[in-house]
Amino acid sequence: MCGGFVDLFFIFDYTWFMFDAVVDANVNRVSEGLRVVEEYVRFVRSNVDLTQQLSVLRKRLNGLFPQTVACLRARSTEKDVRSKEVPLQRKSVEDVLVANFKRVEEGLRVLEEYTGSSECNSMRYDVYDLESRVILLAKKPLIKRGVYLISDDPQVIAKGVSWGCALVQLRDKQASKEVIYNKAKEVVKITAKSDVPFILNDYLDIAMLVGADGIHTGQDDIDVSDLITLWGKDKLYGRTTHSLNQGRVAVDHGADYISVGPIWDTPSKPGREGIGFDYLKEVKQFGVPFVAIGGINDDNLDSVMAYSPDMVGVIRSYSSIPEWQSRYFS
């Protein structure tokens, strides 16, 4: 009888020992997965909001399951039949993100089942929402620093692609939509095998039809948030802004980048006076890439670069792009 009681106690104690091991392993799994995703949105995408949300989730998890002596005693890589497995080789950043989100979601489900914690259930659904936002962000082309070429000529745009521009935009204010559509199809072929994103000016329907990387719109066009609803979060959205308030609205509504200008009077913006440098002094507060544009050429570029714009917009002076790229953005 006494011996049977000791055996029963041993089994009960061993069960709880293994329970601690399950909790410890899955807390680590969830925390590691969140950190992998967090590093991407923090360092690759510089997304403050997503970085903060992932950080809060990690801290929430560690507050819910603080590391205990019992968990540390239960930890044993020697007894773990899956320890030191050779990890799979991920083919892309997106594969890395998907794998780690699944790791987080599965780990939270295990913790929920073994501990009965409703907090784990709540966190799991928060992660589902974050997964959607981060994976769509990963599909969105990166905006690098450099010259932003704007032209109505696909052959000029082809030169910009070969020069490694940050972005190229097809902008034609005179042609019919049919002509612009055919030009856009040509530009898609030009940019398809490059890492230079193709932005179409104004026409969402054409951008959607040809599969452009994004669209740039002005102050009189449909709101950026509505464009995102119509086309999706995996595309780039640029907005023309002439003032700090317009820039704030554009960013609040989801613009990925904003143009600041025209710095000087320019034929591409007839009837609009140059805004000078005051807006350039303040625009960095929004935390999104911005392109200084309007009348910029070899003679005045240094005065613009003093404000460290992420991009410089060029329409007429495109022959200077190789020199500008090398001198300011290499």
Amino acid 13: pLDDT: 47
Is the per-residue pLDDT at 4 higher than 60?
no
C-alpha–C-alpha distance, residues 236 and 53, integer Å: 22
**Among the residues of 140-243, which ranges form H helices?**
154-162, 177-191, 204-210, 224-231
| 20 confidence band (pLDDT: 50, 70, 90) | confident
The pTM score is 0.85
pLDDT of residue 279: 96
CATH hierarchy code of domain 146-328? 3.20.20.70
For 117, other C-beta atoms within 10 Å of its C-beta total 15
Q: What is the pLDDT of residue 10?
A: 40
Distance CA 160, CA 182 (A): 19
Domain boundaries, the chain: 2-139, 146-328
The percent of residues in the chain predicted with pLDDT above 90, rounded, is 80
Residue 102: enclosing H or E segment and its boundaries?
A: helix 93-115
In whole angstroms, give the CA distance from residue 160 to residue 147: 9
Measure CA 41 to chain center: 7
84: tokens are: 């030191």
pLDDT tens column, 203-251:
999 999 999 999 999 999 999 999 999 999 999 999 999 999 999 999 9
Which residues, 6 or more positions from 144, have their beta carbon under 8 angstroms from its beta carbon? 166
Q: How many CB atoms lie within 10 A of CB 320?
A: 16
